[in-house]
Amino acid sequence: MFISLTAAFAQRFAFVDSDYILKHMPEYASAQRQLETLSAQWQKEVDQRYQEIDRLYKAYQADEVLMTADMKKRREAEIADKERSAKDFQNQKFGPNGELTQRSNSSIKPIQEKMEKAIQAVAEGDNIDMIFDKNSEVMMLYANPRYDKSSDVIIKLGLKPGVFAK
């Protein structure tokens, strides 16, 4: 019983800061820039669509007194269709299953896998049983910096700790 208790306490733990590691990886910085550019481009298009809707609505309000009931219905339907179209476009690009999320997953996932392999190599090389991510959902109230293996992972990736990717 004493031996099993000793073995249980002999487990070695460490942690990494995945955000810190990713900031060192040039491919991550490049992927982030591409996603930000794409996001800004799509946001500009969404804004233009809503500006057009606003322009149509103001024109409708200005002309409303001169319109027949049939003309009003047609213009209201046109504005409603444009609003629906703009919301659909926004959801298609920025929604939970939107194109931005899909592109983010496809471009970031290989980078995260590369980082995970480096973490695994550091853990195996240092005989560490568990490595936690400082930035994950796991609550870490205190972590002694001597157990931080982030720099070791960065070195394993062939990068230099403290030199962030541009």
- Three-state DSSP class for residue 67: coil
Q: Which residue has the tokens 């973490």?
A: 119
The C-alpha atoms of residue 58 and residue 128 are separated, in whole angstroms, by 66
The C-alpha atoms of residue 77 and residue 61 are separated, in whole angstroms, by 14
- The pTM (predicted TM-score) of the whole model is 0.74
**Cβ-based neighbour number of residue 147 at 10 Å:** 14
Torsion of CA 40, 42, 44, 48, to 10 degrees: -170
- Give the model confidence (pLDDT) of 84-94 as tens digits: 999 999 999 99
Cβ distance 43 to 99 under 8 Å?
A: no
CA distances from 43 to 37, 119, 120, 155 (A): 10, 36, 39, 38
Low-confidence ranges of the chain (pLDDT < 50): 2, 5-6
Which H/E stretch holds residue 5? helix 2-9
Q: What is the pLDDT of residue 138?
A: 66
